[in-house]
Structure 1
Amino acid sequence: MMKKTKSKSLCFPIGPVFLLVFFAFFPWPSRAQINNNAENRLNSTPLFTYFKYEGKDEVYKKNPLNTNEFYTPILQGCYPDPSITRRGNDYYLVNSSFAFFPGVPIFHSNDLVNWKQIGHVLDRPSQLKVADAGMSEGIYAPDISYNPHNETFYMITTQFAGGIGNMVVKTKDPLKGWSDPIKLNFDGIDPALFFDDNGKAYVVHNDAPEKDKEQYNGHRVIKIWDYDLERDQIVPGSDKVIVDGGVDISKKPIWIEGPHLYKRNGRYYLMCAEGGTGDQHSEVVFVSENPKGPFKPASENPILSQRHLPKDRENKVDWAGHADLVEGPDGKYYGVFLGVRPNEANRVNTGRETFILPVDWSGEFPVFEGGLEPMPVKLKMPSGVINKTGKNGFLPNGNFVFNDDFKGKTLDLRWIGVRGPRENFIQIGREGLRIKPFEVNMNEVKPTSTLFYRQQHKKFSATVRMSYQPTSEKELAGIVCLQKETFHYVFGITKKEQQHYLVLQRTQNGQSELIASEPIEEGKAIELQVSAEGDRYQFNYAFDGKNFKNLGGTVSGDILSTDVAGGFTGALIGLYATKANDISPKSD
């Protein structure tokens, strides 16, 4: 039997002489080198320490509020396709969000005047599959409703992404989050739920006519289905067309959509948008003794539209439609709807906004008060309501200033991402906001490392303070003004060879053009600013926070407008970082 022996390890005495020789040939980095390496890593990740947005529209300067008044729109900027519901004294309102992430902003009010954003309905990747969606894809026309029979809120919508289509989510408490989506087995768009007094539920929605029955381009129908509340699914075979084409199909009305059902005095009212969500937009209404029809149109349709008014009217609001009704705290009805406020070049940069008007329902049909006249700037408040906008967490209205130093524990809900969660690229803390750049730039239909704030005024300025040292020509950080991936401005800092540059690039229909570039001294914090007066935009910078210099002169905001770029969104102002920069500055 072999005798086991202990193995001996080879050891050297570690003495002072050995250490001196070791460090002479293998020197450790100095504290300064360690700090410099860490600083370089941090500086290549931009730090944003301050953001200020200031609205300066003349309409609000010329129309100050009296104590019993409030402004409409109630939600300025890209908050389209509003839907509203009520439970007791609580009102909840939602909007379309397309490829924005999180999706479907949700607001709460007790009086229809003072609103707080309480979150987003779709705030998780399991709910929102828009990673490869174009800016005007994703979430269309959400409808929010409350069912008193099971004390549940529902949000039903169409998600043009992720193979989802029509879907519903629900909750007992909008402050505590919403379920994952339940895919619904029907085609078309713009679904809305209706809960009858007897506990039955129905879905109404826009759809194409039956095969081979389309009479003209834009011919659509409104369908209704029985809805099974236990299965959260339509009842197969229960569908019926209740409106064909619109109010009068002989006149070839286009895009009957955005339907909502209401019940009042034992009768059923169907209200829909008609004419398409452009300058022929309107709202029409029908009545029936049965939720499945037949529905008779009101004799005085439309009940809301601006399409027939003079084009050169003052303080023009246009494209009014896609409305929803609710009973107000004073017992009177009100309607929320979308509209746009074109600039002096008749371009729509702020997108489709959420307006409100009182509704007269003293007769057979509801009628928007002043809905066929030039839209007012301000309205009388419901009885007993005090205007608190801009105070105690209520959203501001009119001309206002929004400041953010990014030092809160959570990000302000008005900041959004595109196609993916903000949490994938942002970090907020005591020093401010850091954006971890993706290897994706603004031209790509992918999630970008950009934090966006909506443009909410025709005349505004947005200023951000940034510390940043790019380490290669592939890195850039700064401001982007975005309409979509093929229409935008980028204003930021990049590097070429050993020099840092400030660059301004315009992209129109996917074709990019360098407007201007300027070498700058590295290592200094910089303030970047975009300002606009209607169609005229300027991009400015300062190192001292006071003496701003312009880069690129005055440029047109045409590419930031819906009517030029197409689609359904408004202009966004983004804090942007990328490791896939394709902007090359001009060398000296």
Structure 2
Amino acid sequence: MTTNINPVIPGFYPDPSVCRVGEDYYLVNSSFEYFPGVPVFHSRDLVRWEQIGNVLDRPSQFNVGLGRERASAGIYAPTIRHHDGEFWMTTTNREDVMKGHLIVRASDPAGEWSEPVHTTGAIGIDPDLSWDEAGTCYLTWAFPGAISQAVVDPRTGKLLSEPRVIWNGTGMAHPEGPHVFRRGAYWYLLVAEGGTGPGHGICVARSDSPSGPWESNPANPVLSHRSTSHPVQNTGHGDLVELPDGSWAMVHLGVRPGGSFPPAHVNGRETFLTGVDWVDGWPVIVEDRYDVPQAPTAFTDDFEASQGSDASDASDAGRLHPRWIAPGTDPRSFAVPVPGEGLRLSAGRAAGARDAERLLAVRARDSSWTATATVPQGDVALVVRIDDAHWAAVQRQGTTVTARAVVGPFDQVLATAEGVPADAPLAVRSVANTERYSFAKGPDDLHLGHLVDGEFRTLGTIDGRYLTTEVAGGFTGRVIGVEALGTDALPTRFTYTPDPDPVPASAMPVSPPADS
């Protein structure tokens, strides 16, 4: 029985990188156009993770912009490492790719990270940092079709050697996401190949030196679910970590597709966990080593109290929880907690506009869920979004509530309700489709509506396929957010609750329809 079907970090948290300091594990993910950038998680067991901050949380660290053309730009594939008493993070900002990669450091991964330095002359994506016994630091990254490397001073970003190609991969497409580390007598180079889609996989090579030459593992790829019926697909882009007892584990990305053929995934690329054994000097993936339960994802942010439902939520000082993000802009520039009143949202897009300007959002994390927003003052939208050309929303202007969907060039009002009180929560619900052998079902249905006496009232429903990267393209996943429409607004409460997936009408096996 497959046990490794639940992500340890569900939702749009791709390209995981992990390091250990004593008994503590720290993990970072790609964040693309969303600000703040590079979420940081902490764990004591590799299974349960808590977000403790974001690495790039100041505009001086992270240049990103608004608009459809900036979607899936921004932050690509960070690496986190601990060396000589400091935490180091390196990543690529596609907005500034010609500056080289950026490197920041911190004494506490939950605290303030330094201003970035750039590795001028190292052009590409997915950088990695590694140190040899002499303290020499190697910067390794992906350049189209190959893995490159140079010696670097990580405190200044200055390259101390000319960049050179060190490996071309195994012959699969797009070698990327390199990580260099040592175990015993060998240095290992872990890479992703096959493209971050159905052909994705993880390959490994080894050498006597951190710069190669590299011997490819004859069993490559060491992990891939391509051409299988495994419920987790697109597996790749991994990072290894040694546990205190000398055993090893790997985090990697994957997706959970659903719906009719071809299936689609709704929450982006998520972070999964496997065990690792070593056989004849090569890593062997043990996918069922960890029994990963469904991660707790429910939360309530009571903005009137400026404090959320769990101990790590927004503090009495009126800070937003680090889960809150915004496309292309710092959410603190327009979302200000006002204790005793709510969250003051500055005016965003006009009600009829399509492009987000000041959308305060969180990642969707489950296959079925309900999100509600209570906004007693101001016109507002509750939005489910992939990008500015692929989103659906419940919008309220005065006492008029409208269900609206934008898909490419199409902009459709699905339904309108009049006389809805301003204190009635707006609501969006994702309902996963479990109907068997249907050829007309997306991965879920999105219900747009509001609550009446606590009951969900649907105004409009759309097929969830329209809000997936299979339709929209790009590398992200769904986010759910609120935006003030034209004037300031005052949300007082936001809830996100995972819902049980609907049970099929019959649990008995059913034969597929015969060919006609």
- Same fold by TM (over 0.5)? yes
Is contact 1:112-1:328 (8 Å) kept? Answer: no
Q: Which residue of 2 aligns with 1:176?
A: 111
Task: Name the CA distance, whole Å, in 1 between partners of 2:81 and 2:160.
Answer: 19
CA 1:343–1:580 in 2, change beyond 3 Å: closer, same or farther? Answer: farther
Alignment of 1:19-418 (within 5 A): 72-132=6-66, 134-148=70-84, 151-162=85-96, 164-185=99-120, 186-208=122-144, 220-229=145-154, 231-237=156-162, 239-244=163-168, 246-247=169-170, 249=171, 253-310=172-229, 313=230, 316-345=231-260, 346-370=263-287, 379-380=290-291, 397-398=294-295, 400-406=297-303, 407=305, 408=307, 409=316, 410-418=319-327
Is contact 2:40-2:110 (8 Å) kept? Answer: no
1:432 partnered with 2:432: no
TM-superposed CA distance for 1:558, in Å, is: 1.4
CA 1:442–1:480 in 2, change beyond 3 Å: closer, same or farther? Answer: farther
Task: Name the CA distance, whole Å, in 2 between partners of 1:92 and 1:183.
Answer: 23
Is contact 1:111-1:329 (8 Å) kept? Answer: no
Q: 1:361 aligns to what SS in structure 2?
A: strand
1:464 partnered with 2:367: no
* Two-structure CA RMSD over aligned residues (Å): 2.4
Residue by residue over 1:366-411, the C-alpha shift from the partner in whole angstroms, topping out at 9 and shown as x without a partner, is 12113xxxxx6x8248xxxxxxx9xxxxxxx436532221222322
Is contact 1:525-1:543 (8 Å) kept? Answer: no
Residue by residue over 1:25-44, the C-alpha shift from the partner in whole angstroms, topping out at 9 and shown as x without a partner, is xxxxxxxxxxxxxxxxxxxx
Q: In percent, how many aligned pairs have the same letter?
A: 36
CA 1:127–1:510 in 2, change beyond 3 Å: closer, same or farther? Answer: farther
Q: 2:394 aligns to what SS in structure 1?
A: strand
TM-superposed CA distance for 1:165, in Å, is: 4.4
Q: Which residue of 2 aligns with 1:213?
A: none
Is contact 2:53-2:111 (8 Å) kept? Answer: no
CA 1:105–1:282 in 2, change beyond 3 Å: closer, same or farther? Answer: same
Amino acid at match of 1:167: L
Amino acid at match of 2:245: D
Is contact 1:443-1:486 (8 Å) kept? Answer: no
Q: 2:110 aligns to what SS in structure 1?
A: helix
CA 1:490–1:283 in 2, change beyond 3 Å: closer, same or farther? Answer: same
Amino acid at match of 1:222: I
CA 1:152–1:481 in 2, change beyond 3 Å: closer, same or farther? Answer: same
CA 1:339–1:105 in 2, change beyond 3 Å: closer, same or farther? Answer: same
CA 1:328–1:71 in 2, change beyond 3 Å: closer, same or farther? Answer: farther
CA 1:510–1:136 in 2, change beyond 3 Å: closer, same or farther? Answer: farther
Q: Which residue of 1 aligns with 2:478?
A: 571
Q: 2:332 aligns to what SS in structure 1?
A: helix
TM-superposed CA distance for 1:518, in Å, is: 2.1
Amino acid at match of 2:271: T
State the aligned residue count: 458
- Note the residue ranges of structure 2 that are not aligned, 5 or more in a row: 308-315, 433-443, 489-516
Task: Name the CA distance, whole Å, in 1 between partners of 2:407 and 2:223.
Answer: 35
Task: Name the CA distance, whole Å, in 2 between partners of 1:242 and 1:171.
Answer: 29
1:561 partnered with 2:468: yes
1:484 partnered with 2:387: yes
TM-superposed CA distance for 1:108, in Å, is: 1.4
CA 1:70–1:288 in 2, change beyond 3 Å: closer, same or farther? Answer: closer
Task: Name the CA distance, whole Å, in 2 between partners of 1:242 and 1:441.
Answer: 52
Is contact 1:443-1:485 (8 Å) kept? Answer: no
TM-score using structure 1 length: 0.74
Q: Which residue of 2 aligns with 1:537?
A: 446
Q: Which residue of 1 aligns with 2:508?
A: none
Is contact 1:318-1:340 (8 Å) kept? Answer: yes
Residue by residue over 1:423-461, the C-alpha shift from the partner in whole angstroms, topping out at 9 and shown as x without a partner, is 111122223223121246796666x22211111111111
TM-superposed CA distance for 1:227, in Å, is: 1.5
TM-score using structure 2 length: 0.84
Task: Name the CA distance, whole Å, in 1 between partners of 2:419 and 2:27.
Answer: 46
Amino acid at match of 1:173: D
Is contact 1:224-1:240 (8 Å) kept? Answer: yes
CA 1:70–1:328 in 2, change beyond 3 Å: closer, same or farther? Answer: farther
Q: 1:307 aligns to what SS in structure 2?
A: coil
TM-superposed CA distance for 1:152, in Å, is: 2.0
Task: Name the CA distance, whole Å, in 2 between partners of 1:131 and 1:165.
Answer: 18
Task: Name the CA distance, whole Å, in 2 between partners of 1:71 and 1:403.
Answer: 26
Task: Name the CA distance, whole Å, in 2 between partners of 1:296 and 1:364.
Answer: 12
CA 1:504–1:96 in 2, change beyond 3 Å: closer, same or farther? Answer: same
Q: Which residue of 2 aligns with 1:56?
A: none
Amino acid at match of 1:424: S
Task: Name the CA distance, whole Å, in 1 between partners of 2:110 and 2:480.
Answer: 28
TM-superposed CA distance for 1:70, in Å, is: 9.3
Is contact 2:31-2:39 (8 Å) kept? Answer: yes
Task: Name the CA distance, whole Å, in 1 between partners of 2:81 and 2:155.
Answer: 17
Q: Which residue of 2 aligns with 1:4?
A: none
- Note the residue ranges of structure 1 that are not aligned, 5 or more in a row: 1-61, 64-68, 209-219, 371-375, 382-388, 390-396, 470-475, 582-588
Is contact 1:337-1:356 (8 Å) kept? Answer: yes
Which is higher, the Rg of structure 1 or of structure 2? 1
Residue by residue over 1:316-340, the C-alpha shift from the partner in whole angstroms, topping out at 9 and shown as x without a partner, is 1000000000012332100000000
Relative contact order: is structure 1 or structure 2 higher (C-alpha 8 Å, sep ≥ 6)?
A: 1
Task: Name the CA distance, whole Å, in 1 between partners of 2:55 and 2:394.
Answer: 32
Q: 1:242 aligns to what SS in structure 2?
A: strand
Task: Name the CA distance, whole Å, in 2 between partners of 1:484 and 1:159.
Answer: 18
